[in-house]
Each structure stands twice: as C-alpha cells, then as structure tokens.
A and B are shown apart, each in its own frame.
Chain A
Amino acid sequence: MLFNSFEFLVFLPFVLLVYHNLNHGWQNRFLVAASCFFYGSWDWRFLFPLLTSTTIDYWCAKKMEAQLAAGAPQAERKRYVVLSVVTNLGLLGFFKYFNFFSENLYELLASLGVHVNAWTLDVILPVGISFYTFQALSYTIDVYRGEAHATNSFWDFFLAVLYFPHLVAGPIQRAQNLLAQVTSPRHTTRQQVFDGLHLIFWGYFKKVFIADNLGPLVDQVFQSPSPDGFQTAMAVYGFCFQIYCDFSGYTDIARGVAKLMGFEFMLNFNLPYFATNAQEFWTRWHISLSTWLRDYLYIPLGGNRNGVGQTYRNLMLTMVIGGLWHGAAWNFILWGFYHGTLLVTHRYFRAPLDRIFSASTPWGRAVSFSIRLFVFFHLTCYGWLLFRATSLEQVLGMTASLFRPWQGYDENLLLPVLFFGGLLMAIETVLYATDRMDFLDFRWVPAEARVVCYSVIVYLCLFRGGEAQSFIYFQF
C-alpha cells in the first residue's frame, strides 16, 4: 500500500478515526493490527521475517537486561547481542545480498578458470527490510551498551518496529526514542495536527508533482543506449531533484502521519542541497541513516580516535557499507566509495579550504558560500549518476559523454528540469533563508491568499502530478 495510493487515502482516515477513539492500550493494539494490514498488503509472507527478527531481538534484550540487573559483566551480554546481530544481518544477507555475493563469486571463479554452478535464490525481497533491520539492531545494541532499557511488552516493541509510517522507508528511529512514545500515553496537540497536515501536504507535493513528473524524463535518458552529454547532464540534475523529492516527500508524509497520532519522528532531511561540503551533506541528507552509521558503525570501528589513517579508513568503510546498505549492486558500493572519498578529501583539505574561502565582508562570504555550494552541488550530482546507473558500463559511458562535445540541447529535457528543479530550489531557499527545516506554511500572507496558494498546490498535485510511481527507497 503506497502512500500515494487510493487505498492509503482510505486506510489513513479510518485508522485515525478509530485510533483517536481508543485508550492508550487499545491504541497500541490497534496500531499493531493496522500496521500488519499495511505491511501485509504487499505480501502477507513479509510478516514472517519481521516477526522472527523482532521476537529474537525482544528475547535477547530481555536476557541482557536481566544480566545487567544481576550485575553480570558486559562480556556475558555479548552472546545475546551477537545472536541479535547475526539474526538480523543474516536475514538481511539472505534476502538482499545472497544472490549478489553468489553471482560475483561465480564470476570471480569463472575468471580464474574454475567453473561451478551459480547458486542463486528465487526469493522476493521483503519491502523495507533494510530499514527495520537497522532499527531493531539499534534496540539490542543500546540495551547491550546499557543505554536503553529492555521493554517488558513484546507488543510494544513489535509496534515500535512495525509502526506503519516508518516501516518501509524510515526514518530509522532509535528504539529508545520510539519505544518511549509507544509505552507512554500520547496526546495529539493542535500544533502537531497543524504541522502534521503541512508535512503531509508538502510531502505529497514533492513526491507527486516534482518527483513523479521528473521520473519519466530521467528514466528515458538512463534507458537510452548512448545518451549525449547534454542528456546525461539533464538526467543527472533531474534525478538529483527526483530522488530528493521522492525520499524526503515520503519522509515528510511519514512524519506528518505520525504527528497526527501524537508520535514524533526524527528529522531526516535538512535542506541537503545547501551543503557546502561532504561532511555537512551527511548532516543534512538521510540523517537517520547517517547518524545510525555513525553511532553503530563508525564510532565502534574507532571513529577518529586512533589517528588520521584509521579515521580515513573508518570513514571509507562506513560509507562503503552505507552504499551497500542501499542495494546489492556494485554501483551502490561505488557511490559509497565516492562519498567516502569526498569525506576523506574534505577532511584532508579542510584547513587550506577554510583559509581560501574565508571572507570578512558579507559580500565576500556570500560569494564564497555560492562557489562552495555550486561545486559541492555538482559533486553530489555526479554521485547520483553512480547511484542511478544500472551497471558500471553505464557509469563509464555516461561519464564519458559529459566530456565529449554536446550535440545541442533538447528543450523537452531542459525546460522540465529547470522548472521543477527551480521550483524546488526556490522553496528550499525560502526555508533556508527563514531558518525553517520542514515546510512552508505561508504564515506571512493573509488567510484568503493562503487558501488560494494551498488550492493551487492541491490542483497541481491532483491533476498535474506525474504517473503514480512507487517510492524509490522502497527497493532498499
């Protein structure tokens, strides 16, 4: 059931209506049922891996909590956290990565002259498995570290993982944050309703009007056997705006829906295309993933504590694994490696770059900011080419096309990319200038004008949106 489907537009009001007429205990039970229905609407079998991992995580956490209470040393808790990690990563590996590694091993052996039968599995990838695996892992790891308490209610934990707004594409909530909200009574405030509706509204606008209109143009170029430089450039710019609007649109809807039920999800995007370097980008893009990787991978690897060399290695490893998390394909690994390189390079050259771009006057600062913004935006865009390509040959071919003479321009590509990209960046500029991170609420205009603005946007979403497409991040 997609957020942009008719079924969801019936499902959500029904859930809200029932939810707000129940007490806290029944609200949780009802949300478990509604989330099972939501997730099962893709394929009811998807519920089994989810149930398996949550059951084991719940049990492991309880055991670790009991040992913690008994004052047992951390080493004794280790076997439970290992069991949890192995189970979660095992399920993820089985469903998502088995075929990738098997096929690559087969090709490697074949290139060495060893011929074996390729062993692949014919299984469907459960929607959102990467998201809920990371979320469940954060719970057991936090309990293991003593940073969170294990819950005594399986259903509360199950709901925290299964809760439908974030289940399939995040934001990846920290267990302690969401569990606390599950276990205590929730009161939806007027402000939450206001914010929630705005988030949903802008989320749909970004997804339906911008991302879904850009999608077919981008696909057309990426499916073309040999696009020229101009087409490649437009497709990459287009994809840059498409993926942002698609994913952040989903997140906005998820956060908005959660708010309508009194839940608060973490911010997942904070105007990422206003980043001027790689480090800043990862504090603005997919924040729930980047902070998860920082807390549960980069820091345990040693972070920046063991010298420059190991810091660079840890950064690189974290980003490559982050890339692989997105999908079992070499282009995602390459994308992770690319961003790792950007992070390492930025770290290495930070001091000289800061000196070069330091300015004392407001105009100087503005120019310096603009140059850095422009350069890093294009570096990000190139990263999206790696991300969107379907093979390494395509990456090489499209990259080469950018450096060959361009064969004129095609206004059927240029105008939509300029229009949708320009519109998005205009809105984001207002948010950036007003220090907002979430949405425009047209607070500064009279009420009548506000109604007109909202109505025009509703019109664009309903009647000028692109052909309904699935959310890109659902595949991860």
Chain B
Amino acid sequence: MPRPVQLVRIAMAGLLALATLEVSARVDDWITHGAPLWGSYDIERIYEYDSLGRRGKPNASYLKWKLNDQGFRGPNFETDKLTVATFGASETFGLYEAEDREYPRQLEEVLRQRLGSDAVQVANVAYPGITVGQSLLRLDETLDAVRPDLAVLYPSVAGYIEYPDNGEWRLGRAPAPSRIPPSRLAERVRELLKRSIPEWIQTTIRARQAEQASGDEDVWKTIPEGNVDGFRRDLDRFLDALAQRRIPVALVTHATRFGDAVRPEERFLLVAWRKFYPQLAEDGFLDMERRLNKVVREAARERGLPLIDAAREMPPGPEDFVEFVHFTDAGSHRMAKLIADGIEAPLAARLEQRSAGARVGNHNPAPKQLP
C-alpha cells in the first residue's frame, strides 16, 4: 500500500477512534445519569437565569446533585416542619460527599435523632461560589420560599479576595451559547489526568498557571483591609435582614484542612487553591481565613448570636477535608454534629412549645419563629 494512502488510513482510524470515544462518553452519561446524547452536560444544567442572574432551576439535576421543586439542593420542603435554613457556598451545597451526605442532610439526621422527632427539616439554600454579599441579592426570595425558623450561616470567605470595586455584587450570568457542544471526552481526560499525574507535577503546572494568570499585577501577600470591611458590611446587612424578619441566626466560622498552619506536605493544596485566586499569594489564604473569621466571631459577640467555631473545632487533615475547604463524608458528619450542638437547645424549646400548643388543642399553626 502506498505510504500516503497508509497515512490517510491511519488518520481516519484515529478520527474514528476519537469519535467512538466521544460517543461512548455520551452513551455512558445517558445510561448513568439520563443525560441528553446531544448538547452539553455540565453543572449549568442545575441553573436558570433571570434579571438578577443565576438561580437554582427547580427539579433540575446534574450527576449526584438534585434540586427540589424550589431550586434548592435536597428534598422538597414540608410546610408543617420546623425549618433550619443553611446558607453558605459550595461547602454547604456539598461537592465531594456522596449523595445525601452533605452536611445539611446529615444535620437533619442528627437533629431528628437528638430531638427524637421528624418534625425538623433542614433546607440547604446554598449554591457553589456564593458570597454573603451575593446571597443578599436573593435573600427575600429565599426566605419567602423556605420560611425558616432558624438560619445557619457558614460563609465561604475566599470570594472576598475578589471584592467588587463598587461594593455591588452580581450573581453569575448565563454562559454564551456555543454552536458545537463541548467534548465530554475532553472533560473526562482532564479528570483522568488530575487523578493520575503525580501531585508534584500538577503542583508545578498550577503554580505556573497562577503566575501567568496574575500577569504583571502585584500579587498580594494578604487581602486588602477594604475587602475585610466589605465582608463585615455584607455580614451586617445579612444579619440585619434576618433580624428584621425575626429569624434567629447561628454563625459558623470557616474551617480549612490546614488549621492554624500549613504542614509542608500539604502545601501543594495551597497552590491548588491559589489557582482560583491567583492575585493572592499562598500564605495570604490562611491570613484571610483568620481575619474574616475574626469578623464572624465579633459579629456573633456583638449581636449575641450563637457561634459555632468550626475553624477551631474541626481538626485539620485529610480525614475531614478532601482538599483545602470541602468536606469528606466524615467531615460533613463532624460539621453536622458541631452545628447541632449549637442549635439543638433552641430547636428543642421550639418543638416543646409546639407540642404544648397541640396538647391544649391549639389547631392554628404556630408562628414560625423561635422563642
């Protein structure tokens, strides 16, 4: 066979192989998750957009993430139950935990067990990548939908590295539609490489990417004080809004895998974290955690709110954290127990009040606020 013909045949075989791999990926998604064969299949499936920006799409699902009829993660809310709403970001929404093992679901289990009653439910109203400031944009909408008896705020602090210049947060916008659906094979290959390539190689690549992304701009050693003030303002506005509605709040400080200091063998995780926020040097992350957690503790003290100091009480290390901030199933369980410790007493009182009302024949639904 002449050489050019041979080369063409090899190229055609290569293309056919790639096409087969892509089709295999799509059929796999279809069988496993009921994903469409054509088009894209990514996290965008659980979102919809309105004038404010991104929000959860009711009854949408993507992989293990399933939203309820209100567009929040977890089962549908029941109106007759005592409701704890958990605000936060990806740590609360749940990323790495198995299905139904994210801490709000485990918190519900723990509370029901401790209170000996199924009359408590936990509404997970968090979305990945949401700052306290961003959650304010839909706070009224959320509270109307959930009507919580108690709120728990576990703020993700890294979003305050990129505090908006004018102080006005916006929610994510819809991505531009693409004519050609993105390759699902490429996504799998990326994941495979992440799992297979030795960590030191990945760390070198990430460090280089972070350096390139920061470009000519100065890399901050610590986040500016203005960003800390911005966090304080957002937190105050959030707490004011809930106070106005007479919804009690429990605050939770932000925990990381590192605790107070980074062990040398875990430094690669800081590099991985920095890849998302290249303008902040690695050591600035722990400083940021300390400063913003201080704001949370001050707010709790000034307002007399229950404080769950997860930053101090969650033991650092891989048992509870998959990477820098996201939980393992065990970590979520520990977080659920910590929060339950902090809110169990007021919830028990509220339940008692309800059952007392039922005993004296009060058939009117109790007002949805804690004593």
Residues of A in contact with B (beta carbons under 8 Å apart) = 5-7, 447-448, 451-452, 454-456, 458-460, 462-464
In the complex, are the beta carbons of A463 and B16 less than 8 A apart?
A: no
Stretch at the interface among B155-163, B190-198, B242-250: B190-198
The stretch of B17-25, B144-152, B259-267 in contact with A is B17-25
Closest A-B pairs by Cβ, 4 of them:
A455-B20, A459-B24, A6-B196, A455-B17
Q: Are A455 and B21 in contact (CB under 8 A)?
A: yes
Closest CB-CB distance, A455 to chain B, in whole Å?
4
Partner of A452, one of B20, B196, B197: B20
| A458/B21 in contact, CB under 8 A | yes
Residues of A with C-beta under 8 A to B21: 455, 458-459
Take A6-B197, A6-B198, A451-B13 as given contacts and tell me if A462 and B192 are in contact as well, using a CB distance cutoff of 8 Å: yes
- List B189-245 residues whose CB lies under 8 Å from chain A: 192, 196-198
Q: Is the CB of B16 within 8 A of A455?
A: yes
Contacts of B17 in A (CB 8 A): 451, 454-455, 458
A463 & B188 in contact (Cβ 8 Å cutoff): yes
Interface string of B1-30 (1 = CB under 8 A from A): 000000000000100110011001100100
B31 to A: closest C-beta gap in Å: 11
Given contact pairs A451-B20, A463-B28, enumerate 9 new A-B contacts (beta carbons under 8 Å): A5-B196, A6-B197, A6-B198, A447-B13, A452-B20, A456-B24, A459-B28, A463-B25, A464-B28
- The residues of B that contact A447 with a CB separation of less than 8 Å are 13
- Min CB gap B111→A, angstroms: 29
A-B contact pairs, 13 of them (CB 8 A): A6-B196, A6-B197, A451-B17, A452-B16, A452-B20, A455-B17, A455-B20, A455-B24, A456-B20, A458-B17, A459-B21, A459-B24, A463-B192
Chain A min CB distance to B8 (Å) = 13
Interface of A is mostly: helix
Which single member of A7, A452, A459 contacts B25 (CB below 8 Å)? A459
Residues of A within 8 A of B13 (CB): 447-448, 451
B109 to chain A, nearest CB (A): 22
* Assembly CA distance A390 to B24 (angstroms): 39
Query: Using Cβ atoms and an 8 Å threshold, which residues of chain B touch A6?
Result: 196-198
Query: In the complex the two chains form, is A448's CB within 8 Å of B16's CB?
Result: yes
Q: For residue A462, which residues in chain B have a CB less than 8 angstroms away from its CB? A: 188, 192
Chain B proximity of A466: nearest CB distance (Å): 12
Residues of A within 8 A of B25 (CB): 459, 463
Known: A458-B21, A459-B21. Contact between A451 and B28, CB under 8 A?
no
> In this complex, what residue of A is CB-closest to B17?
A455
Residue of A nearest to B14 (CB): A451
Closest chain A residue, CB of each to CB of B9: A447
Q: Which residues of A contact B28 (CB under 8 A)?
A: 459, 463-464
Distance of A6 Cα from B197 Cα, bound (Å):
6
Cα separation A7 to B28 with both chains bound (whole Å): 28
Q: Kindly list chain B residues whose C-beta atoms are within 8 Å of the C-beta of A458.
A: 17, 21
CB closest residue in chain A, given B19: A455
Chain A residues with Cβ below 8 Å from B192 are: 462-463
Interface centre among B21, B24, B196 (most CB of A within 10 A): B24
A458 to B16, CA, bound (A): 13
Closest to A463 in B: B188
Smallest distance from the beta carbon of A12 to chain B beta carbons, Å? 14
The minimal Cβ–Cβ distance linking A459 to chain B, given in whole angstroms, is: 4
**Complex CA distance for A7 and B197, rounded to whole angstroms:** 8
User: Which A residue's beta carbon lies closest to that of B198?
Assistant: A6
Instruction: List the B residue with the shortest CB-CB distance to A7.
Output: B198
Cβ-closest chain A residue relative to B32 = A464
Residues in B with CB closer than 8 Å to A7 are 198
**Which residues B137-181 have CB closer than 8 A to chain A?**
none
Q: How far is the CA of A463 from the CA of B193 in the complex (A)?
A: 11
Nearest CB of A to B193, in Å: 9
Which A residue sits closest to B16, measured CB to CB?
A451
**How distant is A116 from chain B, measured CB to nearest CB, in Å?**
40
Shortest Cβ distance from A10 into chain B, in angstroms?
Answer: 10
Kindly state the separation between the CA atoms of A459 and B17 in the bound complex, as whole angstroms: 10
